[in-house]
Structure 1
Amino acid sequence: MSADSVPRTLASLTVAERIYHYYSLPKAAETLGDISRLPMTLKVLLENQLRFADDESVSRDDMQALVDWQKEARSSREIGYRPARVLMQDFTGVPGVVDLASMRAAVETLGEEPSRINPLSPVDLIIDHSVMVDKYGNPTAFRDNVAIEMERNRERYEFLRWGQEAFDNFRVVPPGTGICHQVNLEYLGKTVWTKEEGGKTLAYPDTLVGTDSHTTMINGLGILGWGVGGIEAEAAMLGQPVSMLIPEVVGFKLTGKLREGITATDLVLTVTQMLRKKGVVGKFVEFYGDGLNDLPLADRATIANMAPEYGATCGFFPVDDETLNYLHLTGRSKPQVALVEAYSKAQGLWREPGAEPIFSDTLHLDMGDVEASLAGPKRPQDRVALSDMKATFEKLMNGDTSQPPSTEKGRLFSEGGQTAVGIEASYEHHDSQDVTLAGEAFKLNPGAVVIAAITSCTNTSNPNVMLAAGLLARKALQKGLKTKPWVKTSLAPGSKVVTDYLAAGGFQEDLDALGFNLVGYGCTTCIGNSGPLPEAIEKAIEDGDLTVASVLSGNRNFEGRIHPLVKTNWLASPPLVVAYALAGNVRLDLAKEPLGKDQDGQAIYLQDIWPSQAEIAEAVEKVKTDMYRKEYAEVFDGDEVWKAINVPQSQVYEWSKDSTYIQHPPFFEGMGKEPAPVEDVKDARILAMLGDSVTTDHISPAGAIKPDSPAGRYLQERGVKPVDFNSYGSRRGNHEVMMRGTFANVRIRNEMLNGVEGGYTRHISSGKQMAIYDAAMKYQEEGTPLVVIAGKEYGTGSSRDWAAKGTRLLGVRAVLAESYERIHRSNLIGMGVVPLQFSEGESRKTLGLTGDEAVSIEGLGELTPGGKVKVTIASDKGEKKFEALCRIDTANELEYYHHGGILHYVLRKMIGSV
């Protein structure tokens, strides 16, 4: 759209002797109405509507709806939103580029020009999810792990290098550089974006969508962004607006300050628990209040990062002086920082003291009430006070999976979480096991911490907690404490800057001495790339069926994610990770029981080595701007191994049938220029019947591939040895592996089977139990459509498009659940799978479903957004008929569904057949 098409809102400002043009919110307010109390997030959406107004995809009524939102603090209006850019990581990025390559091949098959398929918005793909903790606890661990990563993933990296050359507006940050969200926070994010348009420099808010749910971390820098599935991100990068309903916005008021000894991690675990209890799925969360005056930006980013864990679309912090301070610290140019300040103030996007926007609902937290916490054993929102950890684990061992109530001051928020129905792990008490490791004999007991990992963008982006870990390690060494021999320790920061400031204070040496040597710059343990445990440890766990623990400074601890043998996983701050490596077991009350003894036999308690806020502040002073400028000066270059990778020169990718990493997916096979009519579902079988809080990790795991699984058998048939399996995440460019991995999590429980754990089902025709993939293939041979039945919060967790892609390729036409998480619902529609929702009070339980029933769905061809369909469930006991809500919420989503998926729609649109 020409900038002159809405001249009434066009304005200009001069910064550092340069003129910037922008679409003025104050000018728009002159005709649309007062917006002074509109939440900041909705002001960003309003500016987006102003800039793209064309009376087709964006109309004046869309803008008016945003302004009128203030009347009831909610709206049913659908808008089209166009983010400035797209962020990808390699686990989700590789299948994204595979889809783009497949679209080019489909366009060529349809007789059109392949280069029409090209990103229209800037795309940054950061390779951060592939490094695994194979080596640890020694000075060469980083070098060795990177070498193994490059060898394992050469096919994938060659493919990404091809994409880098073949597509415009597409940049790749090589492996060994950092985690995408930390690189985004420290380098890529601008807060105010600019581009040349019509001979003018246009300024507008930096906005994005990312193919990782933790894209929200950038909200801490005053940048509106959230995670979407790879499918939706691909559409956005190809110019398709993100279809969304104007959201409710929940205001979270922060006041007070954190007490001595309390970390940003403790704060975020408290915020996460509060917001999960409140219920903010599909809503924006915006932080405000005087507590922001002294809240460092790194702490804000930590809170924003975990928006997926509290269920919100985003967790936004407005621009203020702290934003500018962080931009300066991280090496952004002076003109850029000046533009951020001038533009934010001109647009009313600057946080003013005492501001009280209109919100749909509010919460309040006095940060002085926050206490030391962990979260687990398998959900990030299940906060446990440090002082309650021992009792919590003992209850788990005795079969009580509820959270302990807390009544002391500062323990106001421990509502706790119920165990996810249908996917419970067994925590029964078993005997200790004798182990000898590296010549040292010991007993491995229930509750043993076998993994202690400082990992993940959530906390490694925060110098305060990272340096606190270094200080605690130093004090522990001075007291003569050592890491227990059964603990696998690792340090995987989100950027090389962390290494610089740890080294500057000498803290890396202290961490090294406790086994926390650098293992890589990537997600590692948090994504499930924890690597193998020592053989003796794994054998002891299996022989004794021991319930052991991991403690990690990450954001995800879902079942089966961290390590298949570790049943309980606890999120904690980096200094607590170190403390538990010293303690060696979560069955200690670290508030009362000693970590160990010093050289004189005196008991050493956690409080004896916990660093003070003054000590942490002094250490943080060593974090300098030059560190950021040095590490990001050549961020896209990579090392010599990366540069030497062979890059095929072709517009259309040349697929290799022999590759086990990259295969041509079948999504566009037989696709015509016009979509086929949508047919109803008749006599479908139930592939799986699942409980509450089934995550995308349960549906499409990212971690280890079992040798005896369908995916493992497929790889071995092609000559891949189990030691070279890599992970499901790294194999996402191969649909054959991912189909076989769908619903293959080792901890998932299909209620069609009694007490069976893992990806199995009952094939109704034969009555036999078998792997879900094997059953799905038999149903396809029989011409039988499939459905999945589930409980509440279906599809929580990562924005994992393969959870929807795999569902589609298995032959599932519909999912019928009690409720959905936002991203997975969208992904299902994006793959042509209809998400249906039980009416209030109805469920698989009230209907008495066993999984033997046949399911028919009528009305799919006459759907309307938010409409109803007729469902008939038939069994030998008769028929049950009821209506289900169709969770296709917008007209755009319905259009995508009619086309068989969003990518089919976009492809047809780009060749002009829509």
Structure 2
Amino acid sequence: MAATANPFQSILKTLQKPGGAGDFGSYFSLPALNDPRIDKLPYSIRILLESAIRNCDEFQVKKHDVEKIIDWENSAPKQVEIPFKPARVLLQDFTGVPAVVDLACMRDAMNKLGGDSNRINPLVPVDLVIDHSVQVDVARSENAVQANMELEFQRNKERFGFLKWGSTAFNNMLVVPPGSGIVHQVNLEYLGRVVFNTNGVLYPDSVVGTDSHTTMIDGLGVAGWGVGGIEAEAAMLGQPMSMVLPGVVGFKLLGKLRSGVTATDLVLTVTQMLRKHGVVGKFVEFYGEGMSELPLADRATIANMSPEYGATMGFFPVDHVTLQYLKLTGRSDETVSMIESYLRANKMFVDYNEPQVERVYSSYLELKLEDVEPCVSGPKRPHDRVPLKEMKVDWHACLNNKVGFKGFAIPTESQNKVAEFTFNGTKAHLRHGDVVIAAITSCTNTSNPYVMLGAALVAKKACDLGLEVKPWIKTSLAPGSGVVTKYIERSGLQKYLNQLGFHIVGYGCTTCIGNSGDINEAVASAITENDIVAAAVLSGNRNFEGRVHPLTRANYLASPPLVVAYALAGTVDIDFETEPIGITKDGERIFFKDIWPSSEEIASVSSLLC
């Protein structure tokens, strides 16, 4: 059956530039359908609708597929299937290599058949970011980045050579080289289009990626989620994805975060709420007056952890905050004007200065941001949130509990065991709960200026008070991109992070995916010989036992400032409210509150960098 002309050609409209200076191009207008059901649709579903209308050919995408989406309120509960054609595909190096290999094999086959192999190319734009290969072999050193990258290139010489060939051999494919940043942050800062203009036709950006945290781009108002390699390859070759029309959970945010509470505390709270609610196979769409002041970086943090709360995506519609971020990251005024004009014309833009049309959702949740409190998650799952004030009690419960997600079953008589060892000629000891890895790592947090500058301020206050991190704790800092390094250096605070051992080790996914490298042999022996439940504290999104490092059985997700705080304390077995985080050489007891920056302090440093 051959494809036919698009039956929705009549709603193709021209988008004029502001001031009447020509036009941006044409677009399929949702308001031109004159269907009152569209006004009530969640913004995330409108993106699916526009894609179906634009790609409708009565072959791959049919007119009744469009009707299913328009009638979402009634059809979604029936688990109907729809085709979806994403605007582009995002790959990281581990999962992206097989896709490029398959394209190369297709070219070989075309050659053998006597055809033109250069005709084998992705039909939609494909971006591949090399970010999963770097490992923290060298830490606590000024030359850590250089040393780790050299080892990365040695280990991956063949793969990198192949990807470099692919970057020039294929049309429609961009390969971002190693050392550039974490794929999802590069996607936010550089790759995300928000609105495409292809051959004069405007349409919303949407993306599927071979990494589960592709969802981070949802914080920018771009619909995106992770898929398997075969689905990604099919999308690359222009095939529609078959998906169940999802239910959408409306998540209302109210108020604002209290001083000293971070985006990490917020996302761990949201993750726990959504896991409890049940959102597998669904979209989550955030709305409410709390959105108007929620920075893009905080939105991206929440969107990033969609896999951890189980949703297909956690979506933040485009508004003035999104446009500010686009300008901040170097998108041209012309591009931002086009994005805003298109989304307003197609009723996909949220303007908080206008009355909000009540949208229909499958179910509803609400969170007052002022109720969020400092917390961590662990010791084995991202949604096992522990309020910071309850951490010591929870830790001791975990030692006592039977083996499970919240238990290690350590006999009472062994819980105070001390394992002695020698580190670089100095006597040292380990107890249950002692921190051996403290890593500011992963796309969730190392891309957020507020928590990164917060960590740097904790380091400065600690250094000013004379505190140090024990030398056997493997500390590391893996920024989301070079932009992060620039603003921390411009703030003058990187030297304090270095003083505590948080030197930059590379740009990519490190500790969060298990690329934490080896820990010191003496420390490793003390853990294994004495059956010590050692801890890792990381600003990542995954903390399953065995993932971070084989020898850290307890792994806690925490904000970057808390990673620094726990590194200073040297243990998770501490009550920050009543016990000192450290003692100076003069014997002065320093408490958590003495080194914790206020939101105003972080904002003050941030403002100096703009």
Instruction: Report the TM-score, using the length of structure 1 for normalisation.
Output: 0.64
How far residue 56 of structure 1 moved from its aligned partner, in angstroms, is 1.6
1:474 match = 460
Query: Any idea what SS the aligned residue of 2:337 has?
Result: helix
Query: Any idea what SS the aligned residue of 2:545 has?
Result: coil
1:24 match = 29
1:87 aligns with 2:86: no
1:439 aligns with 2:441: no
How far residue 100 of structure 1 moved from its aligned partner, in angstroms, is 2.8
How far residue 110 of structure 1 moved from its aligned partner, in angstroms, is 7.2
2:50 match = 47
How far residue 50 of structure 1 moved from its aligned partner, in angstroms, is 0.7
Question: Where do 1:210-221 residues align within 5 Å?
Answer: 210-221=209-220
How far residue 145 of structure 1 moved from its aligned partner, in angstroms, is 0.7
- Report the Cα distance in structure 1 between the residues aligned to 2:593 and 2:308, rounded to whole angstroms: 29
2:100 match = 97
Q: Is the 8 A contact 1:451 1:550 kept in 2?
A: yes
Residue 380 of structure 1 aligns with an amino acid whose one-letter code is P
1:514 aligns with 2:516: no
2:604 match = 618
Query: Any idea what SS the aligned residue of 1:13 has?
Result: strand
Residue 393 of structure 1 aligns with an amino acid whose one-letter code is W
Q: Is the 8 A contact 1:73 1:359 kept in 2?
A: no
1:59 match = 62
Q: Is the 8 A contact 1:62 1:77 kept in 2?
A: no
2:138 match = 135
1:395 aligns with 2:397: yes
**2:362 corresponds to which of 360, 363, 386:** 360
1:337 match = 336
1:208 aligns with 2:207: yes
How far residue 560 of structure 1 moved from its aligned partner, in angstroms, is 1.2
Query: Any idea what SS the aligned residue of 1:225 has?
Result: strand
- Report the Cα distance in structure 2 between the residues aligned to 1:175 and 1:616, rounded to whole angstroms: 31
Q: Say if 1:319 and 1:75 are closer, same or farther in 2 by CA, change over 3 A.
A: farther
Question: Where do 1:798-837 residues align within 5 Å?
Answer: none
- Report the Cα distance in structure 2 between the residues aligned to 1:536 and 1:104, rounded to whole angstroms: 52
Worse overlay, 291-300 or 163-172: 163-172
Q: Is the 8 A contact 2:131 2:507 kept in 1?
A: yes
Query: Any idea what SS the aligned residue of 1:489 has?
Result: strand
- Report the Cα distance in structure 2 between the residues aligned to 1:619 and 1:13, rounded to whole angstroms: 41
- Report the Cα distance in structure 2 between the residues aligned to 1:457 and 1:89, rounded to whole angstroms: 13
How far residue 236 of structure 1 moved from its aligned partner, in angstroms, is 0.5
- Report the Cα distance in structure 2 between the residues aligned to 1:425 and 1:587, rounded to whole angstroms: 14
- Report the Cα distance in structure 1 between the residues aligned to 2:402 and 2:492, rounded to whole angstroms: 44
**2:581 corresponds to which of 554, 572, 595:** 595
- Note the alpha carbon deviations across 1:274-308, whole angstroms, 9 max, x for none: 00111101100000111001101110000000000
Q: Is the 8 A contact 1:75 1:245 kept in 2?
A: no
Query: Any idea what SS the aligned residue of 1:521 has?
Result: coil
- Note the alpha carbon deviations across 1:727-767, whole angstroms, 9 max, x for none: xxxxxxxxxxxxxxxxxxxxxxxxxxxxxxxxxxxxxxxxx
2:274 match = 275
1:228 aligns with 2:227: yes
Query: Any idea what SS the aligned residue of 1:36 has?
Result: helix
Residue 152 of structure 1 aligns with an amino acid whose one-letter code is R
1:488 aligns with 2:474: yes
Q: Say if 1:229 and 1:602 are closer, same or farther in 2 by CA, change over 3 A.
A: same
Identify unmatched segments of 5+ residues in structure 2: none
Question: Where do 1:113-152 residues align within 5 Å?
Answer: 114-115=117-118, 117-152=120-155
1:573 aligns with 2:548: no
Query: Any idea what SS the aligned residue of 2:71 has?
Result: helix
- Note the alpha carbon deviations across 1:747-806, whole angstroms, 9 max, x for none: xxxxxxxxxxxxxxxxxxxxxxxxxxxxxxxxxxxxxxxxxxxxxxxxxxxxxxxxxxxx
Question: Where do 1:308-707 residues align within 5 Å?
Answer: 308-353=307-352, 354-400=356-402, 429=414, 431-624=417-610
- Report the Cα distance in structure 2 between the residues aligned to 1:440 and 1:12, rounded to whole angstroms: 74
Residue 77 of structure 2 aligns with an amino acid whose one-letter code is R
1:250 aligns with 2:249: yes
How far residue 531 of structure 1 moved from its aligned partner, in angstroms, is 0.2
Q: Is the 8 A contact 1:266 1:371 kept in 2?
A: yes
**Between Structure 1 and Structure 2, which shows a larger proportion of helix residues?**
2
Q: Is the 8 A contact 2:69 2:75 kept in 1?
A: no
Cα RMSD between the aligned structures? 1.9
1:296 aligns with 2:298: no
- Report the Cα distance in structure 2 between the residues aligned to 1:15 and 1:435, rounded to whole angstroms: 70
Q: Say if 1:99 and 1:391 are closer, same or farther in 2 by CA, change over 3 A.
A: farther
Query: Any idea what SS the aligned residue of 1:171 has?
Result: strand
**2:178 corresponds to which of 166, 175, 180:** 175
Computing the radius of gyration from Cα coordinates, the structure with the larger value is 1
Q: Is the 8 A contact 2:478 2:509 kept in 1?
A: yes
Residue 289 of structure 2 aligns with an amino acid whose one-letter code is D
Query: Any idea what SS the aligned residue of 1:74 has?
Result: helix
- Report the Cα distance in structure 1 between the residues aligned to 2:394 and 2:328, rounded to whole angstroms: 41
- Report the Cα distance in structure 2 between the residues aligned to 1:477 and 1:162, rounded to whole angstroms: 47
Q: Is the 8 A contact 1:90 1:126 kept in 2?
A: yes
How far residue 621 of structure 1 moved from its aligned partner, in angstroms, is 1.5
- Report the Cα distance in structure 2 between the residues aligned to 1:73 and 1:165, rounded to whole angstroms: 43
- Report the Cα distance in structure 2 between the residues aligned to 1:591 and 1:225, rounded to whole angstroms: 41
How far residue 565 of structure 1 moved from its aligned partner, in angstroms, is 1.1
Q: Is the 8 A contact 1:15 1:335 kept in 2?
A: no
Identify unmatched segments of 5+ residues in structure 1: 403-417, 625-914
How far residue 115 of structure 1 moved from its aligned partner, in angstroms, is 4.6
Q: Is the 8 A contact 2:5 2:57 kept in 1?
A: no
- Note the alpha carbon deviations across 1:54-75, whole angstroms, 9 max, x for none: 1122122111111112247634
- Report the Cα distance in structure 1 between the residues aligned to 2:155 and 2:264, rounded to whole angstroms: 34
How far residue 576 of structure 1 moved from its aligned partner, in angstroms, is 0.1
Q: Say if 1:370 and 1:3 are closer, same or farther in 2 by CA, change over 3 A.
A: farther
- Note the alpha carbon deviations across 1:313-333, whole angstroms, 9 max, x for none: 000001111011111111110
How far residue 590 of structure 1 moved from its aligned partner, in angstroms, is 1.6
1:691 match = none
Q: Is the 8 A contact 2:6 2:56 kept in 1?
A: no
Provide the identity percentage. Answer: 56
Q: Is the 8 A contact 1:449 1:549 kept in 2?
A: yes
- Report the Cα distance in structure 1 between the residues aligned to 2:113 and 2:215, rounded to whole angstroms: 38
How far residue 102 of structure 1 moved from its aligned partner, in angstroms, is 3.7
- Report the Cα distance in structure 2 between the residues aligned to 1:137 and 1:38, rounded to whole angstroms: 51
Query: Any idea what SS the aligned residue of 1:459 has?
Result: coil
How far residue 427 of structure 1 moved from its aligned partner, in angstroms, is 5.2
Q: Is the 8 A contact 1:178 1:496 kept in 2?
A: yes
Residue 19 of structure 1 aligns with an amino acid whose one-letter code is F
- Report the Cα distance in structure 1 between the residues aligned to 2:345 and 2:586, rounded to whole angstroms: 64
Query: Any idea what SS the aligned residue of 1:450 has?
Result: strand
Residue 501 of structure 2 aligns with an amino acid whose one-letter code is G
- Report the Cα distance in structure 1 between the residues aligned to 2:207 and 2:345, rounded to whole angstroms: 22
Q: Is the 8 A contact 2:389 2:575 kept in 1?
A: yes
Q: Say if 1:112 and 1:137 are closer, same or farther in 2 by CA, change over 3 A.
A: same
How far residue 103 of structure 1 moved from its aligned partner, in angstroms, is 4.2
Query: Any idea what SS the aligned residue of 1:252 has?
Result: strand
Query: Any idea what SS the aligned residue of 1:253 has?
Result: strand
How far residue 37 of structure 1 moved from its aligned partner, in angstroms, is 1.1
Residue 382 of structure 2 aligns with an amino acid whose one-letter code is P
Q: Say if 1:83 and 1:500 are closer, same or farther in 2 by CA, change over 3 A.
A: same
